[in-house]
Amino acid sequence: MEEVTDISEEKLNSLFELTKSINLNAHVGELLAIYRDVLETRLNVGRLLLLSYDSDWKCILSYGIAQGSLEFAFERTKGYSHLAEITEVSKDGWPQGAEMDILIPVYHKQTPLAHVFLGDLGEVPKGGSSALKHLPYIQTMTNILMVAIENKKLAKDHIHQALLKHELDLAREIQSILVPSVLPHNEELDVAAYYLPFHEISGDYYDFIPLNETEFAFCIADVSGKGVAAALLMSNFQASLHAQIELTGSLTELITRLNKNVMETAKGESFITFFIAKFNRLTQTLHYVNAGHYPPILLMENMVTLLKSGGPALGMLHQIPYLKEGIIAINTPASILAYTDGVTEVENDKHEEFGTETLADLFVAYANSGMTAQQVNDKIAETLMSYKGRKQYTDDVTLLCCRILKRTQLPLFNQNGGGM
């Protein structure tokens, strides 16, 4: 009777030690060490495989298995993955030195948490009984261990989600700073943007930059990748653009400098498609460069021109092999629609893309009807929504409409920071 009492006390003390460590928030390695000590030293289990289930089985603890046999033993356990009761294990099929005798499954309701495979079962040190007498106890102890590990995982996931939310909030804040809060809307110039992110963070960017009393620039860009990294890359790109555009009057030189900046920042892991145009109000001349971006649509004198001149996307090559600046004399009124690939690549229920041709036809119809830039964007967005039907957007949707209505001598911006 004394021996039975001794082993019972050992079991209770072991459970107490494990639960105390759990309450003290010991890391998983410490909990597994306590668990192993109980089974190996106190219950004399000579061989063990502890498998954890999280969408798939993985081994989190093993001992007593011959060198080089662990992988084969793990494969053998898959034949028992469906069992939910303590089961004697067949000796067949196990690699030598890794034979198992007993499977102890641990479930939470109908969900498996762990499988414990025991082998080489000897007598307990105090002599009373084999580990076979303590299988329910081992099952209980394993249950406590696995619930604690699962709770740690949930806590870690919660922390990860909190950090991710913080990153998303930071990225959204970065993006809100990137885009202009006010765009011109007056009798000479009407500019408006439409922006619908696919995820909470977009890789798209647009801007309007007054350069002096006679010139302004506008641009649109799309960075490969998403998330905080993409937002930070675009933030760096915007800062570089605003700094470099003040230093050079040449768009080709500007593109060369921006390409170098993107290469240094992204280190070849991301690239940016980019379109930029500069308009001179006195000469009524539009200069532009298209760096690998979908060509904006120019509507002038009821003629449509795709603004294609330029070169490759930024950040793809250390040296740009070719680069051509487009120059167009503008006869007012003229309208330009820039967009990202999230617009033209929208698919309907038949997997047909919206396409540039359809977009150009809509743009011509809406712009010729006398709509404002904002109304043009809104109508195109409504048409996209109807076109895709039940399908979901797969990318960010961004439109930038610029309508040059007539020549005036108004200052570029009024005192309220609004339109020109």
Task: Look up the CATH number of the domain holding residue 78.
Answer: 3.30.450.40
Do 147 and 189 lie in one domain? The reply is no
Q: Mean pLDDT across the stretch 265-290?
A: 92
Is the separation of the CB atoms in 197 and 220 below 8 Å? no
pLDDT at 265 over 70: yes
What is the domain-level CATH number for residue 363? 3.60.40.10
Q: How many domains is the chain built from?
A: 2
How far apart are the C-alpha atoms of 330 and 335, rounded to whole Å? 10
Average pLDDT score, the chain: 84
Determine the pLDDT at residue 416.
41
Do 276 and 149 lie in one domain? The reply is no
Q: Mean pLDDT across the stretch 349-361?
A: 91
Domain for residue 418, yes or no? no
Report phi then psi at 152, rounded to 5: -65, -40
Do 234 and 372 lie in one domain? The reply is yes
pLDDT class for 286, splitting at 50, 70, 90? very high
Domain for residue 166, yes or no? no
pLDDT at 402 over 50: yes
Measured in residues, the chain has a length of 420
pLDDT at 122 over 60: yes
pLDDT class for 415, splitting at 50, 70, 90? very low
pLDDT class for 1, splitting at 50, 70, 90? very low
Question: Of 19-33, 120-134, 284-298, which gets the smallest average pLDDT?
Answer: 120-134
pLDDT class for 367, splitting at 50, 70, 90? very high
Do 272 and 350 lie in one domain? The reply is yes
pLDDT at 36 over 50: yes
How far apart are the C-alpha atoms of 405 and 155, rounded to whole Å? 59
Cβ–Cβ contacts within 10 Å for residue 296, how many? 23
Determine the pLDDT at residue 348.
84
Write down which residue in 157, 190, 216 finishes a domain. 157
Domain for residue 147, yes or no? yes
What is the value of pTM for the model shown? 0.62
* Domain range for 266: 179-404
List alpha helices for 192-349, DSSP H. 227-245, 251-266, 341-344
How far apart are the C-alpha atoms of 396 and 203, rounded to whole Å? 7
How far apart are the C-alpha atoms of 240 and 410, rounded to whole Å? 29
Do 145 and 15 lie in one domain? The reply is yes
pLDDT at 45 over 80: yes
Domain for residue 121, yes or no? yes
Question: Of 125-139, 212-226, 287-301, which gets the smallest average pLDDT?
Answer: 125-139
Each residue of 83-105: pLDDT tens digit? 889 999 888 888 888 899 999 99
Domain for residue 89, yes or no? yes
Q: Mean pLDDT across the stretch 401-414?
A: 75
Determine the pLDDT at residue 182.
85
Angle, helix 227-245 to helix 135-178, in steps of 10 degrees: 20
When mean pLDDT is compared over 6-15, 140-149, 265-274, 322-331, the highest value belongs to 322-331
pLDDT class for 420, splitting at 50, 70, 90? very low
Determine the pLDDT at residue 324.
94
Do 86 and 228 lie in one domain? The reply is no
Q: What percent of the chain has pLDDT over 90?
A: 39
Do 88 and 123 lie in one domain? The reply is yes
